[in-house]
Structure 1
Amino acid sequence: MDLIFAYAAGLLTLINPCVLPVLPIVLATALQASRHGPLAIAAGMSLSFVSLGLLVTAFGHAIGLTVDTLAQIGAVLMVGFGLVLLVPRFSTGFSLATAGVAARADQQLDLVDRSTLRGQFVGGLLLGVVWSPCVGPTLGGAISLASQGQNLGYAADIMAFFALGVSSIILALGYGARGALMRNQALMRSIAIRARPVMGAVFLLVGLALFFKLHYLAEAWLLDHMPLWLIDFSVSL
């Protein structure tokens, strides 16, 4: 379930009112550089997101935070990012707080020669930072979820599925749906606006459940009511 949640957060990251209108232009430029341009952008953004998630989780372990403490911090952050998605005033404040980082990344992006695959890959790395005022809450939610794990392997799985959601949008638009998107921008923007508070509510509820450790109660209830064959199957996975 966590992996599906991470994938959904990745999808929502780019189906965003301030990213979606610009994305077809970015992908058109990528395709002019090479037919593999969207792949290079997707790989760059994926590496950026996965690295950030692993860095945050590894840093927590390195400074001596226990798994429980790290999980509690992650739960609080998830609640915070849920509120950012739900409350326009918080969203505006987050955008202002991250504007400086995004501006510096945008300056670096202007210096990149995006006529090559290498340039598109580097561009993908930087675009994640440039779009941080918009994508930060969903990315932060995924990182908070990743921090719930007891090892970096779990965090890597969460961030990989988040990156897969991001890449799905990039590749779908780059290789098939760009024309349809351009014709239906109003509909896509409406979907993005409606999906934002839904994801915010999910982040908020999941964060609260993790903070108060309600998932342990859910697990205990399931173990008491699941048939033995299903328990054996889930353990074998």
Structure 2
Amino acid sequence: MELLFAYGAGLLTLINPCVLPVLPIVLATALQASRYGPVVLAAGMSLSFVILGLGVTLFGRSLGLTEGDITSASAVLMIAFGLVLLVPKFSAAFSTATAGVAARADTGLDQVDRSTLRGQFLGGMLLGAVWSPCVGPTLGGAIGLASQGKSVLWAGAIMVFFALGVSTVILALGYGARSALQRRQALMRRIAVSARPIMGAVFIVVGLVLFFNIHHIIEAWLIDVMPNWLLDLSVSL
């Protein structure tokens, strides 16, 4: 479930008011460089998000924080980002605070030679880093899930699934819907506005479940009611 949640967060990440206007230009440049440009761009951006997520997770653990501390902090982070998505006043304040992110991304990309696949990969990594504050709610939710994982490997898997969600959007738009996106930016913005409160509510619910350890209660209940064959199968997986 956590992996699916991270993938869903990745899908919603780029449908963002400060990212969406720039995305068609970025994808057009990628396709001009090579037919594989969007793939390399997605790979660079994915690597940037995975490194950021694992970096935050490992930093927290290096401070000597216990698993309970990390879980509580992650839950609070998810609730906070959920409120940003759910409450229009908080969302407007967040959008204002990140209004210059897209402009900085344009400036940074201008300094990279994107006519080659290497340049597209570096450009993707740069966009992943620069857009991080702008896509904070969904990225923060994925990092929150990763941070409360029991192992670095599981945290990495969560961030990889988040990156796969981002890559799915890039590849779909790059190879199938870039022109449609350019014509229907208003529609995409309306979809983003409609999806934000739903995602915000999900973040808040998951954050509350983690903060109050309700997931352990649910896990214990499932162990009691699940048939032995299904329990053995879930353990073997």
**TM-score tier after normalising by the smaller chain length:** over 0.9
The residue number in structure 2 matching 1:51 is 51
The residue number in structure 2 matching 1:217 is 217
How far 1:188 sits from its partner (Å)?
Answer: 2.5
* Identity rate, percent: 73
How far 1:91 sits from its partner (Å)?
Answer: 2.4
In 2: Cα distance, 1:21 partner to 1:65 partner: 40
The residue number in structure 2 matching 1:84 is 84
The residue number in structure 2 matching 1:172 is 172
The residue number in structure 1 matching 2:137 is 137
In the alignment, is the contact (CA less than 8 A) between 1:102 and 1:129 conserved in 2? no
How far 1:103 sits from its partner (Å)?
Answer: 5.9
In 1: Cα distance, 2:230 partner to 2:216 partner: 18
How far 1:129 sits from its partner (Å)?
Answer: 3.2
CA change 1:181–1:94 in 2 (3 A) is closer
Q: Which amino acid aligns with 1:208?
A: L
CA deviations 1:106-150 (Å, max 9, x no partner) are 533221111111111111112123333431110011000101112
In the alignment, is the contact (CA less than 8 A) between 1:42 and 1:124 conserved in 2? yes
Moved more, 112-121 or 16-25: 16-25
Give SS of 1:65's match: coil
How far 1:154 sits from its partner (Å)?
Answer: 0.8
The residue number in structure 2 matching 1:188 is 188
CA change 1:155–1:25 in 2 (3 A) is same
How far 1:94 sits from its partner (Å)?
Answer: 2.9
In the alignment, is the contact (CA less than 8 A) between 1:95 and 1:134 conserved in 2? yes
Give SS of 1:150's match: coil
The residue number in structure 1 matching 2:117 is 117
Q: Which amino acid aligns with 1:62?
A: S
Q: Which amino acid aligns with 1:159?
A: M
For structure 2, the residue ranges without an aligned partner over 5 or more in a row are none
In 1: Cα distance, 2:22 partner to 2:97 partner: 22
In the alignment, is the contact (CA less than 8 A) between 1:84 and 1:91 conserved in 2? yes
In 2: Cα distance, 1:98 partner to 1:53 partner: 20
- State how many pairs are aligned: 237
In 2: Cα distance, 1:147 partner to 1:213 partner: 15
In the alignment, is the contact (CA less than 8 A) between 1:105 and 1:129 conserved in 2? no
Please give the TM-score of this superposition, normalised by the length of structure 1. Answer: 0.93
In the alignment, is the contact (CA less than 8 A) between 2:19 and 2:102 conserved in 1? no
In the alignment, is the contact (CA less than 8 A) between 2:18 and 2:101 conserved in 1? no
For structure 1, the residue ranges without an aligned partner over 5 or more in a row are none
The residue number in structure 2 matching 1:126 is 126
Q: Which amino acid aligns with 1:6?
A: A
Q: Does 1:13 align with 2:13?
A: yes
Please give the TM-score of this superposition, normalised by the length of structure 2. Answer: 0.93
In the alignment, is the contact (CA less than 8 A) between 1:48 and 1:125 conserved in 2? yes
In the alignment, is the contact (CA less than 8 A) between 1:41 and 1:124 conserved in 2? yes
CA change 1:94–1:186 in 2 (3 A) is closer
Q: Which amino acid aligns with 1:49?
A: F
Q: Which amino acid aligns with 1:160?
A: V
Q: Which amino acid aligns with 1:234?
A: S
Give SS of 2:134's match: helix
Give SS of 1:64's match: coil
Q: Which amino acid aligns with 1:108?
A: G
In the alignment, is the contact (CA less than 8 A) between 2:38 and 2:171 conserved in 1? yes
Q: Which amino acid aligns with 2:18?
A: C
In the alignment, is the contact (CA less than 8 A) between 1:17 and 1:193 conserved in 2? no
CA change 1:5–1:31 in 2 (3 A) is same
The residue number in structure 2 matching 1:151 is 151
In the alignment, is the contact (CA less than 8 A) between 1:106 and 1:126 conserved in 2? no
The residue number in structure 2 matching 1:205 is 205
